[in-house]
Amino acid sequence: MSTKLRCGLIGATGLAGQQFISALQNHPTLELSALAASPRSAGKSYADALKAPNGMMGWFLTETLPAEIARMKVVAGSELTATGLDLIFSAVEADVARELEPKLAKDLPVISAASAFRYDDDVPLIIPPVNASHSELLRGQQKARNTKGFIAPIPNCTTTGLAVTLAPLEDAFGVQAVLMTSMQAVSGAGRSPGVAALDIIDNVVPHISKEEHKVEVETKKILGAAGKPHDVRVSSTCTRVAVLEGHTEAAYVSLKKKASVQDVAAAMREWKGHAQTRDLPSAPPRWIEVLEDPFRPQPRLDRDTHGGMATSVGRIREDSVLEHGVKYVLVSHNTKMGAAKGAVLLAELLMVQGFIGGRPG
Ligand code: 2RA
């Protein structure tokens, strides 16, 4: 019998759900044991649930749908029970998450890509190498909500790349203010409805609903102490560009202490992240790759570095407008480190920390 932890996945048929299926394939300690989606898919095999009325097989990843997943029976999210499961991954939209996640968290840990609970004071927002210790909030959450499980969301994918690059700067020099402009891939918008081809080809769309607020609030929450947001000032402009995968961000950072370009590059290169994350199965050999070529990072060339789990940084320069200013460009894989693989990494951390394991009967 398998000794892997048994995972349920809600929102299994959507694009984010498919990315979870991919992220969990051949995982050394986790396996998918239950798939849940909307009542429309309930009772069907996963392959049948993906079929559109026009006959299109709605599997959107480049890798083949694994045969054992294709055969699995899908249940309605509202019917999924904790029995026989160790944890839940959630890939549902925020409104569905608001209803389903608290029910499931009564018995099980819920690792979520949804934004529904990210801003609650008793909910940590963890990027494992950056703020692994924020998991201490989970015990308080369990007590306050009287649950055996808990809800642990991952941040917005645009926040992830920014926070990963700010963490070594905060550790080495302190950060006081950040200005950031993103150039975000279309995959970030999902497929329902997603971004229409006619809107994005030959174009840049200068607004993504609620995105800038998320980046600003989440960055402060992640860089702060558990339950106490950092006082860094964050201002962003989020745009959508005609790129499939990989968010590019131009960041301008005011440091607390002056640092040279070489100091900043060294701080990022040498940053190892939280000690508990170094040996996690999904951890890359380095969290940040600093590139010297002034024409990098580029999403097409750099998003898949270390399996999409590393953030690539280039164009590090001094900034003469901000106090102790530096500026750089980063690329972070929005659907890997910024989504499903990042959520799996969080589950791995919470296993090491003893928050996950122990199956309800
Ligand atoms: C986007 N960050 O790219 C969002 C996805 N959650 O639209």
Cβ pair 344, 27 in contact under 8 A: yes
Which residues have C-beta atoms less than 6 Å from ligand 1? 156-158, 184, 188-189, 208, 211, 334
**What is the mean pLDDT for each group of 10 consecutive residues in the chain (361 residues)?**
91 96 97 97 97 94 96 97 96 97 98 97 98 98 98 98 98 98 97 94 98 98 98 98 98 98 98 97 98 98 98 98 98 98 98 85 47
> Using CB atoms within 10 A of its CB, is residue 178 exposed (0-12), middle (13-18) or buried (19+)?
buried
Residue 261 CA, ligand 1 centroid: distance in Å: 30
Residue 1 CA, ligand 1 centroid: distance in Å: 39
Whose CA is closest to atom 3 on ligand 1? 188
- Listed as own residue / partner, the contacts of 75-78 with beta carbons closer than 8 Å and 24 or more positions apart are 75/34, 75/35, 75/36, 75/42, 75/43, 76/36, 76/37, 76/38, 76/39, 76/41, 76/42, 77/10, 77/11, 77/36, 77/37, 77/38, 78/39
- The residues assigned a catalytic role are 157, 247
Distance CA 328, CA 125 (A): 25
Q: Dihedrals φ, ψ of 3, to 5°? A: -100, 5
Whose CA is closest to atom 1 on ligand 1? 188
Which mutation among 182, 334, 337 tests ligand 1's pocket best, with the greatest number of atoms within 8 A of CB? Answer: 334
pLDDT at residue 37, as a whole number? 97
Whose CA is closest to atom 5 on ligand 1? 188
Distance CA 208, CA 211 (A): 6
pLDDT at residue 358, as a whole number? 62
Distance CA 230, CA 296 (A): 30
> Of all atoms in ligand 1, which is nearest to the CA of residue 208?
7
Q: Count other Cβ atoms within 10 Å, centred on residue 306.
A: 18
Which mutation among 112, 156, 182, 243 tests ligand 1's pocket best, with the greatest number of atoms within 8 A of CB? Answer: 156
> Of all atoms in ligand 1, which is nearest to the CA of residue 214?
2
Q: Count other Cβ atoms within 10 Å, centred on residue 231.
A: 11
pLDDT at residue 49, as a whole number? 98
pLDDT at residue 192, as a whole number? 83
Burial of 314-323, coded b for 16+ CB within 10 Å and e otherwise, reads bbbeebeebe
| All domains in the chain, ordered by first residue | 5-154+340-352 (3.40.50.720), 157-332 (3.30.360.10)
Structure tokens at 337: 């480190």
What are the DSSP calls for 79-140, one per residue? G---TT-SEEEE-S-HHHHHHHHHHHHTTSEEEE-SSTTTT-TTS----HHHHGGGGGHHHH
Write out pLDDT tens, residues 230-262: 999 999 999 999 999 999 999 999 999 999 999
> Of all atoms in ligand 1, which is nearest to the CA of residue 185?
3
CA 164 to chain centre: 12
Q: Count other Cβ atoms within 10 Å, centred on residue 249.
A: 25
Structure tokens at 255: 């440091």
Which mutation among 157, 213, 215 tests ligand 1's pocket best, with the greatest number of atoms within 8 A of CB? Answer: 157
pTM above 0.85, yes or no: yes
Residue listed under structure tokens 């049948």 = 48
Residue 314 CA, ligand 1 centroid: distance in Å: 22
pLDDT at residue 361, as a whole number? 47
CA dihedral 231, 113, 171, 262 (to 10 degrees): -110
> Of all atoms in ligand 1, which is nearest to the CA of residue 188?
3
